[in-house]
Amino acid sequence: MEKRVIVLMGPAGAGKSSVASYLKKRWGIPQVITHTTRQMRTGEINGRDYYFESPTSFKKNHYLEKVEYSGHQYGSSHEGLLAGWQQNRLISIVLDTKGAATYRQELGQRAWLWYITVSDVTVLEKRLEKRGDQSAAIQKRLHSTEFKRDLVLPKILKNDANVVINDDWEKTKKVVDALVEGFESD
């Protein structure tokens, strides 16, 4: 059976991490842990949410893709994918749209693209506040080039991505369940 990685992409606050957590809890689909140089948020744990790196330690990993976002480095390593696939043939990862394009290019159909979004982008700021981000950091993120880029599914991925509109969590879970059930029946 083919090993695949569910690539969860979309704008900040759309619910990518919530979907990844649900996939793990409901379906036992492990999330690939990615690396970042940003500071930990309240409640985050090193090695569970991210591998929190210094700029020096970040450079020592073997990345499939890496990106700078809001002044911090983020990346996913080859080792992280292999470790995930040792646990399950289906794994998930949270990336931005640029990283998702790299995954599609590098992994082909093994990268199963899901674009998580909302129908009203004004909701995103409220969600960022609710998760505990600082006001200045939220405003910086909302005005960043990367955030604006991730508000739209890139043309090169449009024909390949499943779009999941996360306005209502109960409905989102049903869409996620249907996608996974479709994979499991293959």
Considering the entire predicted model, what is its pTM? 0.84
| Interatomic CA distance for residues 30 and 146, integer angstroms | 26
**For range 40-68, the mean pLDDT:** 90
**What are the boundaries of each domain within the chain?**
4-184
| Interatomic CA distance for residues 172 and 179, integer angstroms | 11
106-115, 139-148, 149-158, 165-174: which has the minimum mean pLDDT?
Answer: 139-148
Q: Helix %, strand %, coil % for the chain, to 5? A: 45, 25, 35
Q: To 10 degrees, the CA torsion angle through 86, 51, 25, 131?
A: -160
Confidence of residue 186 (pLDDT cuts 50, 70, 90): low
- Report, at the CATH architecture level, how domain 4-184 is classified: 3-Layer(aba) Sandwich (3.40)
Residue-level pLDDT at 132 = 67
Q: Is residue 138's pLDDT more than 90?
A: no
SS3 5: strand
- Looking only at the bridges linking them, the beta strands covering 4-9 and 90-94 are parallel
The total of other beta-carbon atoms located within 10 Å of residue 10's CB is 29
| Interatomic CA distance for residues 142 and 124, integer angstroms | 9
- Are the CB atoms for 51 and 72 separated by under 8 Å? no
User: Which of 19-33, 116-130, 135-149 ranks highest by mean pLDDT?
Assistant: 19-33
Confidence of residue 73 (pLDDT cuts 50, 70, 90): very high
